[in-house]
């Protein structure tokens, strides 16, 4: 009985999130950038930033915010919906695409700004230029459309926001899109589903790089109810499977 119970526990834990993952050998990434643009989704940025903050309490890392002008990036309230709500936020960045810090990892958020093809050109170019020098790249939500437009996802498995599925996947005709996953790793490219999935993907990435004890420490510090790579429900909600 005990054996069966522990087997079932192990099975459930395995489905919910990989457990007891051994840390990746080799040098740990240290410098993490977040590429911001006008119309970034708040949780896509601040969720992972909170996980990086927790990681930084125990591991030597640096996080840099990067934007086109090197000064700030705005998300405007309400857009594109017809509303007079005031829910805007502007973050100060300090690094530009033209003069970025040296990075090991780049996180690319999504957001309503990804719908503006013209405004996206600088961040797509930056991602394309920097990717060959990175250890890892991580996209959140519709940020996958930026990776796809930069050609990084060609021939790879990936996922994205399930509600914005048709919009994002049109940019990646040679991508093996997974409509079920919460997040997907293919080689050094991590793509996550919508908005909050960025935190699950980053926790999965932390587990992959630093091991399960470190990832669980960050998760518990955030009091985050973690969803594993296969635990997503939104593809079904939006009729993708």
Ligand X SMILES: *[C@@H]1O[C@H](CO)[C@@H](O)[C@H](O)[C@H]1NC(C)=O
What percent of the chain is helix, strand and coil (3-state, nearest 5)?
Answer: 40, 15, 45
Task: CB nearer to ligand X: give 86 or 173.
Answer: 86
CB of 149 to ligand X, least distance (A): 33
d(CA 25, CA 122): 34
d(CA 108, CA 132): 15
CB of 86 to ligand X, least distance (A): 4
70, two tokens: 């090197």
CB of 83 to ligand X, least distance (A): 8
Contact map string, positions 144 to 173, toward ligand X, x by CB under 6 A: ------------------------------
Task: CB nearer to ligand X: give 88 or 133.
Answer: 88
d(CA 233, CA 182): 8
Task: CB nearer to ligand X: give 84 or 173.
Answer: 84
Sign of the torsion formed by the C-alpha atoms of 52, 53, 56 and 57: negative
Task: CB nearer to ligand X: give 6 or 88.
Answer: 88
CB of 194 to ligand X, least distance (A): 26
Contact map string, positions 70 to 99, toward ligand X, x by CB under 6 A: --------------xxx-------------
Footprint on residues 35-74 left by ligand X (CB under 6 A): none
CB of 78 to ligand X, least distance (A): 9
Task: CB nearer to ligand X: give 14 or 80.
Answer: 80
Task: CB nearer to ligand X: give 77 or 155.
Answer: 77
Alpha-carbon separation of residue 107 from 77, 83, 99, 138 (angstroms): 23, 30, 17, 5
b/e per residue, 96-120, with b = 16+ CB within 10 A? ebeebeebbbbbbbbbbbbeeeeeb
Size of the site for ligand X (CB under 6 A): 3
CB of 82 to ligand X, least distance (A): 13
Angle at CA of residue 31, ends 23 and 24, nearest 5°: 10
CB of 77 to ligand X, least distance (A): 8
Nearest position to ligand X, beta carbon: 86
Task: CB nearer to ligand X: give 86 or 99.
Answer: 86
Footprint on residues 99-128 left by ligand X (CB under 6 A): none
Angle at CA of residue 234, ends 10 and 172, nearest 5°: 105
- Are 221 and 228 in contact by the 8 Å Cβ rule? The answer is no
Residues that bind ligand X (CB under 6 A): 84-86
């Amino acid at each position: 009985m005990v054996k069966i119970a522990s087997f079932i526990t192990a099975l459930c834990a395995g489905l919910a999130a990989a457990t007891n993952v051994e840390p990746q050998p080799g040098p740990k990434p240290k410098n993490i950038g977040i590429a911001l643009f006008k119309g970034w989704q708040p949780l896509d940025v601040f969720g992972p930033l909170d996980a990086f903050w927790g990681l930084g309490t125990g591991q030597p890392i640096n996080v840099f915010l990067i934007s086109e002008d090197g000064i700030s990036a705005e998300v405007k309230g309400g857009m594109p919906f017809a509303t007079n709500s005031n829910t805007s936020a502007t973050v100060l960045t300090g690094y530009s695409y033209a003069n970025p810090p040296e990075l090991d990892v780049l996180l690319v958020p999504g957001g309503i700004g990804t719908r503006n093809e013209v405004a996206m050109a600088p961040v797509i170019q930056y991602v394309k230029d920097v990717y060959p020098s990175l250890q890892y790249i991580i996209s959140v939500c519709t940020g996958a459309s930026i990776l796809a437009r930069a050609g990084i996802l060609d021939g790879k498995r990936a996922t994205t926001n399930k509600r914005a599925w048709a919009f994002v996947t049109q940019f990646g005709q040679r991508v093996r899109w997974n409509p079920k996953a919460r997040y997907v790793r293919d080689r050094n490219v991590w793509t996550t589903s919508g908005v909050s999935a960025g935190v699950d993907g980053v926790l999965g990435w932390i587990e992959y790089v630093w091991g399960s004890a470190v990832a669980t420490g960050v998760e518990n510090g955030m009091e985050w109810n973690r969803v594993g790579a296969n635990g997503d429900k939104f593809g079904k909600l939006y009729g993708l499977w």
